[in-house]
Structure 1
């Protein structure tokens, strides 16, 4: 690499049902990104079909890489490293991005690095103009994970609490399906909840009546099912149930965030993951921040869901510190984020 040139990294994200590619440069920021959502592919099945997800990544990835490089004004030889999501996620989908990324890096003679998908989400707010300083409490809330972490720096993560069953986003999707909504269910349920009447139904706030920072959301969808059976399924009742469900999830998350902030003494809260784009959650967490005298940081909605930009950033930080993967292709469907070490460690 030319010592006078900044470090540029290509990031590849294929952990589930979005194919994301981005180019990030240290000191300059995000140069380009390209994203393809598979929502239309999976909508007819009401959820992600792993084999279809893998095949679509194979089809889309080469063109998205070319698109991102063209947007950045680069040829492949202008890259100094390649980062790919190695896990957690769907094993077939991960292998597509990992094999492509590792092969591209080898062909260019540049290092590759296997990035943890959740580290990408945790660092996504660093892509914003006013990034959070370390340390902070992170609420990682998505379709596959609901966790609270103490983040002391890049690669320095301590798990404070997590869901014992369904993640919050998973509960949103399953409850949306009960209410007859399409895929993806989370945004559809949130839109229906906006038409609901607060107070008609009250759902429990799981695991808030005891100490600790763990979550449990599977019972809420069962509560929604029984409420729907008893109250009927007309449009207004469905909206009222969606409203009560969303209120329960949001208040539960807020209660646990408050506990985590007080337990750690940290003055910053970062919200990451797809559910972090939920408007009701953001409003409630903004109110929490005002009441507690802390700052709350969110990525822009496009960086809440899976994307290549967060992988390019996380990979760039690790590659620039001298970290690099071997020639093997790494893919880990299960991979605890707290097992990570700081870059180069």
Structure 2
């Protein structure tokens, strides 16, 4: 196992070391390759990510990633979009599952869903024109991109409850008609039960009726927004992990940003980063080790060893160390 470790910017420099502490507690035979990317590097060198960085990432099996600060400067090249496109990691997977002992804003825990977001096109195509009085971003939806994300979502649904929800806005965006049609065709070929919902209706139903859904597939921007919103169901962005999956590479990151307002204060919640590392273990098919990490997280949180966003007093480092200690006890 060869893992590229990218702390990135802001709280990424705090939550990733906590996740690494937990990973190290498992005593697995792996090689960790530190890679500096992001705004801090851009300020110092003029490059947020270089060709050499990309080659290093490609040489690793997967990437454990913190967070990136993206400035408004048009000369800044998006690190995340670059990695996703260069490594062709087309599927963004965001599980929305309650953690034992923690309640979100709705006060319910009867849901377990996954948002599957197309990750390489849509509104994040990167095709833009910026002028003094007008700016354009081209929304790109292709048959190939729609088919492969639908195929991934259907295979995931077949491993769960055989239910797929296709989220779109085809009544207004004609490009979404292609996405919807391809998803329907793919679901039918997989013999997966499917329904489709307009994204604005989905935003409402996801909060009011989260238990109705199993696997949700949607386009890039809609998936980004809906998954961040759904974090409120589990208790906040500090608790939601994600994976970016391609044919050859995978990339694991917490869904939260770099949060520069709290960076360096030691109060960032590391749980999303640790759960992202757990998803990495599952991708490696290390299911027993992943279960140990999950058990250690729940044990530690039930002991109220949590950061201030969850009403606790523990620091980022203390939470990571407590979970790592529990991992060592469990595998002892």
> TM-score normalised to the size of structure 1?
0.28
Larger Rg: 1
